[in-house]
Structure 1
Amino acid sequence: MTPAINLLEQQGIQFQILKFEHDPSQHNFANEAAEKLGLLTEQVFKTLLVDVDGVLHVAILPATRQVDLKAFAKACKGKKAMMADAKKAQTTTGYLIGGISPFAQKKRLNTLLHNDAKKFTTIYVSAGKRGLEVEVAPEDLSRLCNARFAQF
């Protein structure tokens, strides 16, 4: 499967795999997943890379939200945040844009999980490939990715 799924299996994490046919013309990947899988959009989380003062960080947030860069920088105890370059995000994580999973990235980065995840017993995140999602408990994601819950 993918490095993300392999890691979940190795760690004995309870998860469910969901597949859908990705439309190459779609670029709003989390919303596409929610729509095609019949999921609540606010329960499908996207994984983005954010550059805070020259250091990459991972932001995991609902498909319905945009990263508040000012709040994200503050949560990382930084001054300035901007979205990471797509090519750098792919190189750093080992995943393609639209399939970046929070799990089993090439390089472990400081990770923030949006507080909205606490509203659900499970959330959906990319399994490391476009058209492939995993359903996991937010606490398991937080533990496995060493992610802090934050408002951003």
Structure 2
Amino acid sequence: MSKVTPATRALTAAGVGFTIHAYDYDPEAESIGRQAAAALSEDPARVLKTLMALVDGKSVCVIVPSDQEVSMKKLAATVSGKSAQMMKPPEAELVTGYKVGGISPFGQRKQVGTVIGQTALAHDLVYLNGGQRGLQVRMKPTDVRDALKAIVADVIA
């Protein structure tokens, strides 16, 4: 497995500190984020999942703890939209340039607005997908927010 991805290149170019953590990806897992947390022996609240959504037809990246679900109503309100829905996997792959299960908020093919759940900032360090299945990057949540110019909001259902 290569540990150099568009995500790690983007983080390095931005001067953001991170560490790389590989794990055995299970494509059959019911929850990719929770499976990653278990494989890394981490609290699921510290392992964040990257989701792609559409708000009024516009692409939005949403980052929340792997054991939580996004409220579409709260997400839409956060970005001054009327309605939100999850993006279909083929569309998410096209927009991000990553395969589902390996979508990172960093180094996406097309830069989109990002929302990070406020609970993520309660931790010293968090994990996010590093740009491929079975690869996580660990970093400060404030660095995630700053690097992505993310909106911090309560978007948990």
Sort the TM-score into its range (normalised by shorter chain): over 0.9
Map of 1:13 onto structure 2: 16
- Cα displacement string for residues 28-64 of structure 1 (whole angstroms, at most 9, x for unaligned residues): 1111110001001111000001111111101000011
1:2-151 paired onto structure 2 within 5 Å: 2-151=5-154
Shift of residue 146, structure 1, vs aligned partner: 1.3
C-alpha distance in structure 1 between counterparts of 2:54 and 2:11, whole Å: 27
User: What TM-score, normalized by structure 1, do the two folds share?
Assistant: 0.97
> Does the 8 Å contact 1:27/1:98 carry over to 2?
no
Residues 57-108 of structure 1: CA distance to partner in whole angstroms, max 9, x if unpaired? 0100001110100011000100111111110100000001111001010111
Query: Which stretch shows the higher mean deviation, 113-122 or 18-27?
Result: 18-27
Cα deviation for residue 134 of structure 1 reads: 0.4
CA distance in structure 2 between the aligned counterparts of 1:8 and 1:58, rounded to whole angstroms: 17
Equivalents in 1 of 2:38, 2:153: separation in Å? 26
Tell me the amino acid that sits aligned with residue 16 of structure 2.
I
Distance 2:121 2:13 in 1: 25
RMSD: 0.9
**DSSP 3-state at the match of 1:133:** strand
Q: Percent identity at matched positions?
A: 34
Q: 2-side partners of 1:28 and 1:93: how far apart?
A: 20
Once the 2 structures are TM-superposed, how far is the Cα of residue 124 of structure 1 from its aligned partner? Answer: 0.5
Normalization by structure 2: what TM-score? 0.94
Aligned-pair CA distance for 1:27:
4.5
Of 2-11 and 30-39, more deviation after overlay is shown by 2-11
